Amino acid sequence: MTDPLPGFEQPAAPPRVDSVFSGRVVRVQPDITGVQRQFDYVVPAAWEDDGRAAKIAVGSLVRVDFHGRRTAGWITDVDVTPDPSLELRALAKWSSVGPPQELIALGDWAAWRWAGRLPHFLRAASPQRMVEEVAPRVEPPIADANPAMDAVFSPGVTHVRTTPNDSGLAVAIEAAVRGSALILVPTLHQRTEFSRALRNQGFDVAGYPEQWARSASGVLTVGTRLGAWAPVPEPASIVVIDEHDRAYKEERTPAWNARDVAIERARRGGVPCVLTSPSPSLEGLETADRRLSPERSVERESWPVVDVVDLRTADRPGLLTDAIVSLVRDSTTVACILNRKGRSRMLACGNCDALATCDACGVAVHQPDDTTLECVSCGTTRPVVCSACGATKFKLIRPGIGRVAEDLRALAKRDVIEVTAETDAADMSGEGLFIGTEALLRRLPNADAVVFLDFDQELAVPRSRAAEDAFSMLALAARRVGPRSQGGRVVIQTRKPDDIVVQAALHGDPKRVAESQRDVRRVFGQPPYGAWAVVSGAGSATFIERLRAVDESASLRLAQLGDRWRIAAESHTELLEIINAVDRPAERLRIDVDPIDL
């Protein structure tokens, strides 16, 4: 250390007298994305006297002096033996109770499994606001478990195929009866529904992440994707409702999947994990130790009447066949689904309705990001400002839907409600004739009939999961309209009436989809019979180059897809052992393990 220059005052250095420290040393993971290392700090002696030291535990949120600044972090280990050559600093502040030990270990695993960083997962497992202390664990009142459900809650992973009109609530209630459980659902709306239903059954319910502290004291917890990281201590079981749902997959990096986190968490805790779905994912079926399905006749009866309209022999051109028109006239609430994937989308000014066009060539423009409009034809860009009135808000118009809605209005002689992202939920609660994309199915509470105007749109998607996704959409439609005994009706317009997905819905038999997909994917080594990752971004070329160097025996298969790369391996272990060993380039890089859109 250099002496201060004469005449200059030395800045106040932190006291380094031994008696100031308690001698206890803890390990801290800083909450900084770029820092994967952990660092040791000592507990200040003063904390022993005022009770703060007693709060030091694995998972605690603290603040520490780190390389000239102060940062938040998590205690990942206590009573560490530090490297004697280091001069340790003291913890600066105890902030909050944090995730329990087992979630920190699970975070380590998730960081490996999705090639991500630990702080990302620790944030998911931490309270949104500081928590002073957690109430002692509450033991839920023990009710009588239903012996008929013993098979569902036996050790390991159980896949329960539900009927389309069974939300999975019965499984969730039974889980609650058997001890403090963790229930995951795909959407916030389902979280509200399940919480309400469980409360009506007399259970105390914590919603994650808002009620972190209650969850931490062992209250039955219901959450969406993030709920996989709820701090319920040693849950008696973990239930994943509608396990096939894409909402369980995080879209941002690291692109983790809550279903898979739940499965691993249950495995580590040695508790049952129950997956439910009316349209199972192959991943869910494959990881399950046992698969339960309803009796064939029960499942069949729970499906609505499915009408298949062959568009090749339709009575009139276009999508509004006679079958549709008469159905729409006779039924009260109908949802018409028309996905216009891959078609050009146009923008119109939210203020004056002028179509946004290119200043150079007059062609319609699209909006690639928040700040630019780009010409599809010549690539000219301009700011998001209307040329006619100067407004800065634009709305998306899907020419397909607008046109069809207009025609439908004329043919059906009734009002048609076009549902977009901006449509108010209140406008969708009553009766009516609705038209919109797949999102309409998620938002409409129920309907007398659902019509897929052009189902080939779904079947023709070039993705390995296309069939499963298309079928899950039909299962969702079936849930909205109810079973055939209640007059539920789903109409599928297609040029491929013999497609396995259409046939499976027609016969109310999801097994057909899974079986056909299983064979295809096995042959080609596609997930879940192999592991995939997609690498994209500016740094991907460098990354792939380095990966080739690490993968000496060339056990990974690489395929370039435009500016992205697909990495395929026999297993996740093989895939991640290599991916995690590659030095990440400085440029932006996105690694998507288990991509859902490939």
Partner DNA sequence: CGGACAAGCTGA
Partner DNA sequence: CAGCTTGTCCGG
C-beta closer to DNA: residue 88 or 170: 88
82 scored as a contact of DNA (CB under 7 A):
yes
Residue 357 CA to residue 370 CA, distance in Å, equals 17
SS3 510: coil
Structure tokens at 48: 């022993």
Strand locations in 478-576 (E): 489-494, 531-536, 557-561, 564-569
The one among 68, 136, 383, 462 contacting DNA by CB under 7 A: 68
- Stretch near DNA under the rule CB under 7 A, chosen from 34-42, 142-150, 363-371, 540-548: 34-42
C-beta closer to DNA: residue 515 or 583: 583
The site string for DNA over 579-598 (x = CB under 7 A, - otherwise) reads -------x------------
The one among 21, 39, 194, 565 contacting DNA by CB under 7 A: 39
Residues 6 or more apart in contact with residue 432 via CB below 8 angstroms = 333, 415, 417
In angstroms, what is the minimal distance from the CB of 36 to DNA?
A: 8
Residues 6 or more apart in contact with residue 19 via CB below 8 angstroms = 45
SS3 156: coil
- Stretch near DNA under the rule CB under 7 A, chosen from 32-40, 176-184, 282-290, 420-428: 32-40
Torsion angle, alpha carbons of 532, 536, 539, 545, to 10? 40
- Stretch near DNA under the rule CB under 7 A, chosen from 58-66, 347-355, 401-409, 443-451: 58-66
18 scored as a contact of DNA (CB under 7 A):
no
319: enclosing H helix or E strand = none
Alpha carbon distances (Å) from 392 to 264, 351, 379, 380: 47, 9, 20, 18
The one among 66, 153, 208, 543 contacting DNA by CB under 7 A: 66
Count of residues of this chain found to bind DNA when the rule CB under 7 A is applied: 21
- CA of residue 553 relative to chain centroid, distance: 34
591: enclosing H helix or E strand = strand 590-593
C-beta closer to DNA: residue 39 or 452: 39
- Stretch near DNA under the rule CB under 7 A, chosen from 33-41, 156-164, 272-280, 387-395: 33-41
C-beta closer to DNA: residue 65 or 301: 65
In angstroms, what is the minimal distance from the CB of 512 to DNA?
A: 47
The answer to whether residues 489 and 448 touch, using CB atoms and an 8 Å cutoff, is yes
Q: Could you tell me which of 403, 497, 407, 482 has the C-alpha nearest to residue 450?
A: 482
- Stretch near DNA under the rule CB under 7 A, chosen from 79-87, 392-400, 424-432, 527-535: 79-87
In angstroms, what is the minimal distance from the CB of 88 to DNA?
A: 5
Please, what is the Cα angle at 333 between 330 and 339, to 5 degrees? 110
33 scored as a contact of DNA (CB under 7 A):
yes
Residue 22 CA to residue 348 CA, distance in Å, equals 66
How close are the terminal C-alpha atoms of the chain, in Å?
Answer: 57
325 scored as a contact of DNA (CB under 7 A):
no
The site string for DNA over 536-575 (x = CB under 7 A, - otherwise) reads ----------------------------------------
- Stretch near DNA under the rule CB under 7 A, chosen from 4-12, 30-38, 136-144, 150-158: 30-38
Strand locations in 31-179 (E): 39-44, 61-66, 69-77, 89-96, 157-161
The answer to whether residues 298 and 484 touch, using CB atoms and an 8 Å cutoff, is no
The one among 63, 89, 495, 548 contacting DNA by CB under 7 A: 89
In angstroms, what is the minimal distance from the CB of 33 to DNA?
A: 5
- Stretch near DNA under the rule CB under 7 A, chosen from 84-92, 165-173, 278-286, 442-450: 84-92
206: enclosing H helix or E strand = strand 205-208
In angstroms, what is the minimal distance from the CB of 422 to DNA?
A: 33
C-beta closer to DNA: residue 25 or 219: 25
Q: Give the gyration radius of the chain's Cα atoms.
A: 28
Which residues of the chain form contacts with DNA (CB under 7 A)? 32-35, 37, 39-41, 64-69, 82-83, 86-89, 586
